[in-house]
Every structure is written in C-alpha cells, then in structure tokens.
Structure 1
Amino acid sequence: MGNGLWKDVWLLTKRSIVTTLRSPFSFIPNLLISMFFLVVYDSGLSGIAELPAFEGANYLAFILPVSVVSAAIGGAGGAGQGIVKDIENGFFSRLLLTPASRLSIVLGPIIAGMTQLFVQTLLIISIGFVMGLKVETGFFGVLVVLLLAIGWGLAFAGYSAGVALRTKNAQAAQAGTLIFFPLIFLSTTFVPYELIEASWLKVAATINPTTYIFESMRTVLIEGWIFWDIAQGFIAIGIVCFITITFAAVSAKKAVSRG
C-alpha cells in the first residue's frame, strides 16, 4: 500500500515537472519578477539601512526574504493551475478511473511545485551572492532559508490546490491565490517592526504569518543562530500548512466524490 502510494506520487510528480518544463513561460515570469524586486528594492531603498534601527545590517540581506517569499507564493500557485488544467482537459477524470491513489493525485502537483520553488530560490540566492550578499550563518544558514521558503511554498501550494479542486476553474483559482500577496506588504517588508508607525499596520504585521517567515530568514542572514527567532518561522509554517493541507485534502475528497 505504502510503496504503491509513493510510486503513484513519483509518477505524477514527474509528469507535472515535465509538463512545467514544456511550458517555461509558466514559471519564468514569476522568477524574473522576484529577481526584479531584489534588484530594485536594494538599489532604491538601501539607504534605509543607515537608520539606527538597522544597527548596520546589510539591506540586501534584509530585503532578500521578500524576493524569496514572493517567489514561493508565485511558484507554489502552479500546483493549483496544474490541477485545473488536468480537470479542464479531462485528465483528472481519467485518473479517477485508474488504481492511482487519490492522495497522489493531489500530492504530485504539490511536490512538483516545491521542486520548482527549490530551484527558483537557489537562483535568487545566487543572484544575491553576485550582488554582494553575506550570510552570517554561512552555508547552513542558506539551507535554513531554503527550508523556510519550501515550507511556506508548501503551505501556499495546499491552499492553491484546494481552491483549484473547489472551483475547477483556472480564473477562479488564480483569483483565489491573490489573497497571499497582500500578506507580503502587511508585514515587515521594507523596514523592521520598530520603524512601522501606523498602529493598524503593526497589528497586521503581528498576526501575519509572513512576518515570522521574514524574521526567521533575516535572523540567519544577518544576526546568527538565535533559536527562538528562527523557530517562530517554522512554527508559523506548521500552523498554516496544517490549515491549507487539510483544506486541500477535504477539497480533494469532495472532488473525487463528485467524480
């Protein structure tokens, strides 16, 4: 049973990856936009780092998580789009007639999205190093950033897949994913929490899980191994993953029951 599940997951993940590679324009724009954010924000806002609240931190290291998280959101959204395409072209219905595990039908596109995200994050970090990025915690700090990006992407992929299975419509699924982009800007996107002046924005940043992803990444990039600051990001990811993956699983069950 277990071996059959993982075999099904592998085959469907491989198919999703091959499908993505055949349509490079489905992921290249998102990657270019994330890199654009990194270059423009660092060039135009780096002077903010001279403020006392930054304590001499490199603004490139401060802004890099914004580019990584935006790539995670855009890249993981491909999981939902892949499911919608399979529904619209009839492949999803044919899959339901095979012995393939129902769980693998959902996990395949999600894992493919995570693989795409892993490559995108590596490219963004590489561009960062070309621009002069220095990581306080070295190689293992880069691994932590990758894990945080993949974890956050997994949370978003679950939501994206759930919306796709609920709506079975490409436009509706794409519109549903827009909810995550405001989370980037209702956070400590450009300045530390201490420099946010609007009280409502401070409240939004406090309850926003993206804030804790940013802070965890910035801790390993700028400050070092501060356990609790890093752990908060993984805790936030765990909570959101539980919610979104459960949403995807329930949506998949209903989609299968409807045939």
Structure 2
Amino acid sequence: MKLVRDTWLIYSRQMSLVLRQPTWIFIMLIQPLYYLVLFGPLLKQMPTEQMGFEYGAMETFVPGLVIMMAMFGTLFSGFGLIAEIREGVIERMRVTPVSRLALLLGRSLRDVSTLIFQAVVLVLLSSLIADLTINWGGLGLMLLIVLAIGLGLSAASYGVAIVLKSEDALAPLLNTITQPVLLLSGIMLPLTVAPDWLKTLANFNPFTYAVDAARALFNGDLNDAVIWQAGVLLGALTILLVFWSGRKFAKSTS
C-alpha cells in the first residue's frame, strides 16, 4: 500500500506540473501531424496493394504514427530527470521516506497519461483529416499497447539518465538505439515487401509486433495472432525495463 500511496503522490505532483503548462502536451503532437499532413497524401498515390498493404494506406499509416509517438514521446523523458539531478531534486529525495520505486513509477505514469491523451487526439484528428472510421473497441486495445510501450520506454529513459547524468551522453545513445529500432518496426511502411534478411532482423524487434498489432486492432481485426504475440513481448519487455530502472533509481537515491 505504501508503494501505491507514494506513487500516487509523485504522480499527482508531476501531473500538476504538466497541467500548469499544457502547451507542451500539444507541442508533442506537431511532429506526427506533420507526417500525417505532409507524408500521408503521398501514400494515397501509391499502388498500396502491390506494396503489400494489408489495409488501406491511411489505415496502415495512422497506427504506425501512434506507435512512433509512443516511442519518441517517452524515450526522451530522461532529459527532464537530468535537469532535476542538476538542480538537486534527486539529492533531496534521499532524506525522504518516499518509496524509491514510486519516484520512478510516478514520473513514468505521468508520461503515460500524457501519451494516451495525445494518442487519442491524434487518432481523432486523423479521422477528420483522412476520413477514417474508428473502431472504438480496437482503439481501446491499441491504447493498451501504447501504455505498455510508454511505461517501459519512459522507465528505461529515466534509468539511463540517472546513470549517465548528462544530456550530451544521453542524446547520441538514444538516437543510436532508436533509429534501427524505428526502421525495423515498419512504422512508415509495412515490411511485407522487404528482402528476407530485413524481415529476419525485424522478427527480433518487439516493436515490429507492436506496429502490426496496432494496425490489426485499429482496423478491427481482433483475431490476428500478432495481437497476443505483441502483448506477451511488450509485457515482458516493460516488466524488465521497469525492474532494471527501478534498481538504478533505488541505488541513486539511497
């Protein structure tokens, strides 16, 4: 119960800081909206059936955008923590009785809450711009995938940040990791027409399953086997990342 109470206290404080400056919530939507407005129309002119699109062009592209936002919107959360370390916030936490894991979970849940709101707004705007029909049941399940990605990557970002304690080290490390993961996930275009060696590499990327599952759910294909595969992989990955980051957080604040 102490962990739950402390997590709620940290989460409430972090959310109050976000709500004081809600502009940042919408600023994070600008990049995916650029892709939607400036890149999406190009897909409509392509022979999607020949390119291996299982669904329509925008029905394939929009779920990929949501997953991309989930990855980039939370993986760079650690930069804020580095600022708190520099200002002595984490140092002062050492003398408090607050659970060390709660310090991590409260921040990560703040990031997830913001992310879920942004994902819903992006889908609603996409439905207006691209005239898409929303499958609400599938959307709800897709948001669970977004939640798992957000929680795991946010925790990982905080864990790495508290180890490195430097923006100059964190930025190139995250960029080096995210670029191949992004390209191998099929976010921009499906990998169905990719060469075999590229498909083999993509099979080892858990976010490939997340993107495929998001597309299936977004289009109401709830019986696709990739959905439970993504759930198992992302669930295990999230638990692993939260556990690892929690240990790093505990050591740094004890």
* In structure 1, distance between residues paired with 2:180 and 2:28: 16
Q: Please report how far the alpha carbon of residue 120 of structure 1 lies from its aligned counterpart in structure 2 after TM superposition.
A: 0.7
TM-score, L = length of structure 1:
0.88
* In structure 2, distance between residues paired with 1:223 and 1:99: 47
* In structure 1, distance between residues paired with 2:189 and 2:172: 28
Q: How do residues 169-180 of structure 1 correspond to structure 2 at under 5 angstroms?
A: 169-178=166-175, 179-180=177-178
* In structure 1, distance between residues paired with 2:65 and 2:29: 9
Letter of the 2:132 partner, please give it: L
Structure 1, unpaired ranges of 5+: none
The structure with higher relative contact order (CA 8 Å, sep 6+) is: 2
Structure 1 residue corresponding to 2:141, chosen from 120, 139, 144: 144
Alignment CA distance shift 1:96-1:163 (3 Å): same
Structure 2 equivalent of residue 46 of structure 1: 44
Deviant stretches of 4+, over 4 Å: 23-27
CA contact (8 A) 1:42 1:63 kept: yes
Query: Deviations along 1:101-129, whole A, 9 cap, x unmatched?
Result: 11111111111000110111011111111
The structure carrying a bigger helix percent of its residues is 1
Letter of the 1:205 partner, please give it: A
Structure 2 equivalent of residue 244 of structure 1: 241
Is 1:64 aligned with 2:62? yes
* In structure 1, distance between residues paired with 2:152 and 2:191: 24
Structure 1 equivalent of residue 160 of structure 2: 163
Is 1:32 aligned with 2:24? no
Query: Deviations along 1:151-193, whole A, 9 cap, x unmatched?
Result: 1111211210111111122333333332224312123234333
Q: Quick check: 65-74 or 16-25, which moved more?
A: 16-25
Q: Quick check: 187-196 or 117-126, which moved more?
A: 187-196
- The alignment yields a C-alpha RMSD, in angstroms, of 2.1
Q: Please report how far the alpha carbon of residue 25 of structure 1 lies from its aligned counterpart in structure 2 after TM superposition.
A: 5.9
Q: Please report how far the alpha carbon of residue 223 of structure 1 lies from its aligned counterpart in structure 2 after TM superposition.
A: 5.6
Letter of the 1:42 partner, please give it: G
Q: How do residues 72-83 of structure 1 correspond to structure 2 at under 5 angstroms?
A: 72-77=70-75, 79-83=77-81
Q: Please report how far the alpha carbon of residue 204 of structure 1 lies from its aligned counterpart in structure 2 after TM superposition.
A: 2.0
* In structure 1, distance between residues paired with 2:76 and 2:6: 20
Letter of the 1:104 partner, please give it: A
* In structure 2, distance between residues paired with 1:121 and 1:174: 24
* In structure 2, distance between residues paired with 1:26 and 1:181: 24
* In structure 1, distance between residues paired with 2:3 and 2:185: 39
Structure 2 residue corresponding to 1:183, chosen from 181, 189, 202: 181
Structure 1 equivalent of residue 225 of structure 2: 228
TM-score, L = length of structure 2:
0.89
Alignment CA distance shift 1:167-1:79 (3 Å): same
